[in-house]
Amino acid sequence: MSGVADFARVLLPRSSVDGALVMLTAYFDDSGSHDQSDVIVFGGLIGNEATWTPFETAWRAKLVSPLPGKSPLKRFYMHDCTAREGEFADYSRAEADAIAHDFRQIVISSGVCGYAVGVSRRDWRELTDRSPEALLMFGDDRHIAFAIVSRK
């Protein structure tokens, strides 16, 4: 075996189509990772260069010019938007709904794929209490949730 393509076929056997290596980019985020949460969720977006390029271009443009009369945003954080906190503190309910809609449309129209996985923290801890091997093999609830979503 020689070359990057041969090495990649060993490491990523399903990522090669007709000898072409497919490179994907993913973005992950979590919710419920604080100790009091019943469920931990990891979700994200995944796509190739053809889907990420228009996504990133449109996303950056919307951050620079979110709505008429509104200042540029440093980032879009759905919690802050729906709660009208942080950068969205001066947004009306209608404006917050409009900007959330616009960012959703960027995701939808770009062609990136969305996915999420949730793990019951209580159930995972109960399982690993009964089977310490599972904890050694997969890690805690944060690790298993991320492992599942990153394999999608």
What percentage of the chain exceeds 90 in pLDDT? 37
Question: Is residue 12, in this structure, part of any structural domain at all?
Answer: no
What confidence score (pLDDT) does residue 55 get? Answer: 92
Question: Domain residues for 143?
Answer: 24-150
Q: How far is CA 80 from CA 49, 50, 73, 74, 137, in A?
A: 29, 30, 12, 12, 36
Question: Is residue 14, in this structure, part of any structural domain at all?
Answer: no
Selected residue with higher pLDDT from 41 and 98: 98
CA distance 26 to 47: 7
Q: Please count the structural domains in the chain.
A: 1
Nearest to 99 by CA among 65, 54, 64, 67: 67
Question: Is residue 17, in this structure, part of any structural domain at all?
Answer: no
What confidence score (pLDDT) does residue 143 get? Answer: 65
CA distance 55 to 19: 27
Predicted confidence (pLDDT) per residue in 51-104, tens digit: 888 999 999 999 999 999 999 999 999 999 999 999 999 999 999 999 999 999
